[in-house]
Structure 1
Amino acid sequence: MRELSVVIPNWNGAEQLGQNLLKIYAFLRKSGLKFEIIVVDDASTDDSESVLSDFSFAETICNKKNLGFAKTANKGVASASYKHVFILSNDIVLENSLEHLFEHFDRDDVFAVMPQVKLIDTGFFAYGKRGVKWENGLFKVEEQITGGQPVNTLFASGGSAIFKRDLFLALGGFDSLYEPFYWEEIDLSYRAWKRGYSVIYDPRTFVWNTRCGVIKQFYKQKYIKHISGRNSYLFVWKNITQPELARQHILQLAPSFFEDVVCGKWRFPVCLAAALGRFWDAYSKRCIEYCECRRSDEEVFALVNSSESVISNTKQSAAM
């Protein structure tokens, strides 16, 4: 019997928990899996704690103060009992069999697998495979259209993916360098790729996204863009260790800065200044990444941008 720990980080998601948690439990009961559900509440100020008290089937961990997504999710994974952990946002509902996702873990090198995510209101595709575009010294994440077969992906979503628990913990989990949010899931998967592991997107399994995430609900768009911009620089400073790519990045900083200033745009200077405030933290971790990497950045780019099906790799591994 397969075993699965479901970890749900929650902050002010009382409404979503009330709507979705029982559906997740009912799905798992029918799945044939041995499972547990762990909800880690990040010091919510809404009725989350009261809502959770109605669901005795879920283990609840309550942070005494708000720690942010990374630390909250890490706490849930550390508390999990089983070797595979499904980290779910509180607005995600499971729909069809997880067997296709589990099959990939027959390969020793697979770190995480994520399904296709669809919008429940429309049934339309929300997100799936991502790749990377290195352009003018900048690391850009891009959506990539695929067919119906499982393929490599840049990263596994922190709200809808299954991770190998032991490797998740060995990598240190989501890095709080990026708090309060964004890029920590890209960082974690990228570090796994650099160390020789793989991250898979399998569209044969899908989950429902029931609403817009809590971040967009509670934060202004301008602030979200600034945090994302800041974290994109921190990611490069920490993870891009190939000398030529690092040189390209450094050379584009000054031109980009002055171009924004001349045009009266301040997003780049603001994001860069905010990132510089965390430079030494990123740099100290960069030294670790440099020593631990088994693949070059360009090798990772090629792997995550590949559209080749990984099914043959999975079958070969299972047969060995």
Structure 2
Amino acid sequence: MIDIVTVNWNSGTQLKECIDSVLDHDKGELSSIIVVDNGSTDDSVATVEGLPGVEVIHTGENLGFGAACNIGAKAGQSPYILFLNPDTRLEADSISVPLAFMERPENGKVGICGIQLVDEQGRVSRTCARYPTLGRLVSSALGLDKLPGLTGSGIHMADWGHGEITRVDHVMGAFYLIRRRAFEVVGGFDERFFVYLEDVDLSKGANEAGWPTWYLTEAQAFHAGGGTSRQVKAHRLFYSLRSRLLYAFKHFPRWQAWLLLVVTNVIEPFTRSAWCLLRGDVTGVKHTWAAYRMLWRAMGHILRGEGRYNP
């Protein structure tokens, strides 16, 4: 049995479409559907309240993705938890295939499982990732992973077609099936990551505890991508940069973390601006510098490894 946890923040019609797809394709595997509403100001959560098997938890404020996921996980008891973004829609075998894979005796130590996610055009998205390293994060910071021949130099596995079943470092948190035992061994999501990299951090912790991650191709789900973070571009970049530095100071040797901090704060604002200008995106330049102003104000909190921070 599976508990599905969906974190909602102003998801509009996407939330109802997601939950409808879950209910439409339930083959008896579901124990509960838990929607954690992170202080939404639209009427999205009202569209799912009262639906069969759906429990809504109101946080009253935006606690961040990881914290809300932890709340939702604690509300269930099933041996598996599926963290599912509201901008996803399940298909007939989206749950049954990965659950059957996890239930096979030879896969008893597989901790996390993901499936193919497809976009509006039906294309398989490159959703798997490698664990961040200094080199991979610097490549992304400088935009090198955008260059032909260097698309695999960042953390995202953009150089791999996602056409084979294989063990990977990480599968995207939009569809993130994890054994409850593995989730509890790791201690759930690190709530210092407001959004971004909290799922990679969890995958790394689970793998180090003996619970690896696998990616399956026998099942698919639709994923719009970007989610509600599309609404707040400068804040989205700020939280991405903040999470990157938190991750580095948590997992990297100190000198590497400090080197990444210098690259992020001193060089990257200009490389990001240059890439925006090459695309003719003047608004993107404005968003970039707005995000960096928030980052610089938050730097003391980051260096102290403090929790949730609202710019």
The interval holding the TM-score normalised by the smaller chain is: 0.7 to 0.9
Q: Which residue pairs with 1:73 in the alignment?
A: 69
176, 190, 202: which one aligns with 1:175: 190
Contact 2:112 2:179 in 1 (8 A): yes
Mind listing any 5+ residue stretches in structure 1 that lack a counterpart? 284-320
Q: Which residue pairs with 1:19 in the alignment?
A: 17
Shift of 1:201: 1.1
Query: Could you tell me the TM-score, scaled by structure 2's length?
Result: 0.75
Would the alpha carbon gap of residues 145 and 68 (structure 1) be closer, same or farther in structure 2, given more than 3 Å must change?
same
Q: Which residue pairs with 1:156 in the alignment?
A: 171
Residue 217 of structure 2 corresponds to residue 219 of structure 1: no
Query: Could you tell me the TM-score, scaled by structure 1's length?
Result: 0.73
2:175 and 2:190 map into 1 onto residues whose CA distance is 18
Contact 2:131 2:170 in 1 (8 A): no
Shift of 1:155: 1.9
Shift of 1:32: 4.0
Residue 240 of structure 2 corresponds to residue 228 of structure 1: yes
Q: Which residue pairs with 2:2 in the alignment?
A: 4
2:225 and 2:160 map into 1 onto residues whose CA distance is 23
2:5 and 2:232 map into 1 onto residues whose CA distance is 24
Aligned positions of 1:236-315 closer than 5 A: 236-240=248-252, 243=253, 246-251=254-259, 253-254=261-262, 259=267, 271=295, 274-281=298-305
SS in 1 for 2:47: helix
Q: Deviations over 1:37-72 (max 9, x none)?
A: 111112211113421234133122222333222111
Q: Deviations over 1:154-183 (max 9, x none)?
A: 22322212111122133221212111x111
Q: Which residue pairs with 2:286 in the alignment?
A: none
What amino acid is the match of 2:91?
E
Percent of aligned pairs sharing the same letter: 23
Shift of 1:33: 2.2
Contact 1:154 1:189 in 2 (8 A): yes
Would the alpha carbon gap of residues 147 and 24 (structure 1) be closer, same or farther in structure 2, given more than 3 Å must change?
closer
Shift of 1:127: 3.0
Mind listing any 5+ residue stretches in structure 2 that lack a counterpart? 139-153, 274-288
SS in 2 for 1:158: coil
SS in 1 for 2:192: helix
2:263 and 2:224 map into 1 onto residues whose CA distance is 42
Q: Which structure is higher in strand share?
A: 1
1:6 and 1:263 map into 2 onto residues whose CA distance is 40
2:136 and 2:206 map into 1 onto residues whose CA distance is 22
Q: Tell me how many residue pairs correspond in the alignment.
A: 271
Shift of 1:189: 0.8
What amino acid is the match of 1:150?
I
1:127 and 1:208 map into 2 onto residues whose CA distance is 13
Would the alpha carbon gap of residues 93 and 61 (structure 1) be closer, same or farther in structure 2, given more than 3 Å must change?
same
